Structures are given as C-alpha cells and as structure tokens.
Amino acid sequence: MSDFVIMTDSSCDLPASLANEMELTVLPLYVDVDGQKYTNYLDEREISFSEIYAKLRTKCPAKTSAVNTNDFMEPMENLLKAGKDVLYIGFSSGLSGTYNAGAMAARELSEKYPERKIYTCDSLCASLGQGLLVYHAWQEKKKGRTIEEVRDFVEDNKLHLCHWFTIDDLMFLKRGGRVSGATAVVGSMLSIKPVMHVDNEGHLIKVDVARGRKASIKALADRAEKLGVDLQNQTIFISHGDCIDDANYLADIMRNRFNVRDVLINYVGPVIGAHSGPGTIALFFLGRER
C-alpha cells in the first residue's frame, strides 16, 4: 500500500471506529456551548454528542471556534518526520477557514521537508459529505493508488458528492443569519421545513421547502432519485442531529426505493450541529452533479 496518510478534520463526522480502521489522522475542531469550549473528538471523549444536543435544545448559546495554522503544524509534521507523505482533505472553505489554515501549514512544511509530499484538497463538503469523500479516497488508497492519484480522484469527484438536508427548527437558521426572524416564526407556525444543499462553492443553499417533517425527509430521497448515479451499488451516508428514528426512516426509504448497497448513519457533529440544531437530517451520495 502507498506510504501516505489521509488527514482530515473532525467536521467529517465519521464514526471513530471507521476513522481508526481507515488509519486517518483527524484534527479535532472546537465548539463553544453556553460559554464552555469543547474539543470535537470523533470518539466523544470530552463530551458526548447527545449531551451537546441536550444543551442545544435548552437554547444554550453555541458557536464554533476557528482553528489556525499552528493547530495543523504538529500533527502534519509528526507524519512527515515519520517518513509519511500527507494528503489533507479539509472542511469546505465556503463554510470555514479550517481548510485555508491547513493549506497554509502544508505550504510551510513543504519548504521545511522538500523530500516529502504534502497535498491539500478543499473538499467543498461538510459533515458526512466530507466523510463520504474521505471514505472514497480511502477506498482508492486501498487499491494501491499513489498519493497523486488519490488527490486527483478527490478533485475529480468532489463536485459529484451530493449533500441534501433538512432542518427541523428554523430558529437555528435564524441565529446563523440564513433566514429572517419573520420567516422563522411563520415557517415554524406552518410546519414549513427547508430543503437545502451544499453547492459547488461549498456554501449552504436553500433550494425548496416541504410541509411537515416526513415530507421534508422524503424530499431528500426525491433528490437522490433525480441526481443519483447507480444508487443500488453505492454506500450512502446519513447524518442526524440527535434524531436517530428519523435517520432510520430515511435509510428505510433509500433501501426500499433504490436498493442501496449499504447505509452508514452517524451524528451531525457539534461543529455543524451548533448551527443546524437538533433534528437535522442529511443525505449524502454520489450523483451527476450536486
């Protein structure tokens, strides 16, 4: 197997067990809830995701804390010192400064270790969309692809990584400035649920609305039907904001309608969840376009 390591950050929202199996190096990000800063480890060693969502449900103020170049330097340099090349696949630059901080660290370390290869890819993805892109990169690595071939695979396929999601509580979108206060109030009264996606620039975009929770979840599957490629042979990812029953409902729809090969379900981690709130449901798959 090629002697390089895939690095990402904890916005990928992968289960810790899978990240370990993939031998990833994962830079943890940070979230501040009710004035307390927590490190977002995938294994929930500092605080469980269910606890974070319990706090969010009580309307505790939440925000994310940016990482900087120095946060990346030590984990990247440790790999380079160990004789490993590095491929960093980072959180969308359209949503965070995380990727740019990682790319800057990579440029500095490339000058210090000219004998090593260190590449960065802006995933333009978030949550398990980023995780699914990393997963596919790992699958390519397992085939014996070189670091350049895996990097090129990521660049060639990232705009085919479809992100479709719905938010249960519009007030969280209001906090983030995504909708107006009036829209949030009226939408909540009428049980209007936005259907959103991550676009080609890596930004969150509202595309449609649905009336009621189940209709909004079914709308995600409708997008997969419209955009998905060879769904029956895909592993799809579903993330949820502490609403596992709804995630399982969507998984059943995907299995029954499209006979998908496999489904992975995990939390929307606290970095994204602080902005999307409890009840978020997201679907990730490969398609013709985003």
pLDDT for position 168: 86
pLDDT, one tens digit per residue, over 44-53 is 999 999 999 9
pLDDT for position 275: 87
Task: Give the span between the Cα atoms of 197 and 211, in whole angstroms.
Answer: 18
pLDDT, one tens digit per residue, over 208-251 is 989 999 999 999 999 999 999 999 999 999 999 999 999 999 99
Are 109 and 139 in contact, with CB atoms under 8 Å apart?
no
* CA-derived radius of gyration, the chain: 19
pLDDT for position 172: 62
Pull the structure tokens for residue 264. 């992975």
pLDDT at 78 > cutoff 90: yes
Count of helices and strands (H, E) across the chain = 11, 13
Task: Give the span between the Cα atoms of 45 and 42, in whole angstroms.
Answer: 8
Give mean pLDDT, residues 90-101: 97
Task: Give the span between the Cα atoms of 85 and 26, in whole angstroms.
Answer: 15
For domain 160-286, which CATH number applies: 3.40.50.720, 3.30.1180.10, 3.40.109.10, 2.40.50.140? Answer: 3.30.1180.10
**Domain locations along the chain:** 4-158, 160-286
Q: Given pLDDT bands bounded at 50, 70 and 90, which one contains residue 11?
A: very high
pLDDT at 184 > cutoff 80: no
Task: Give the span between the Cα atoms of 42 and 20, in whole angstroms.
Answer: 10
pLDDT for position 191: 73
For 8, residues 6+ apart whose C-beta sits below 8 A from its C-beta are: 24, 25, 26, 27, 88, 89, 90, 130, 131, 134
Output the average pLDDT for the chain. Answer: 93
Pull the structure tokens for residue 114. 């000219």
pLDDT for position 173: 63
CA dihedral 70, 75, 81, 84 (to 10 degrees): -130
Q: For residue 280, which of 58, 53, 61 has the smallest C-alpha distance? A: 53
> What is the third-level CATH fold of 4-158?
Rossmann fold (3.40.50)
Are 289 and 179 in contact, with CB atoms under 8 Å apart?
no
Give mean pLDDT, residues 277-284: 96
Separation of CA 48 from chain center: 18
pLDDT, one tens digit per residue, over 108-132 is 999 999 999 999 999 999 999 999 9
The DSSP letter of residue 12 is G
Distances (CA, A) of 13 to 71, 133, 184, 185, 272: 19, 12, 27, 30, 9
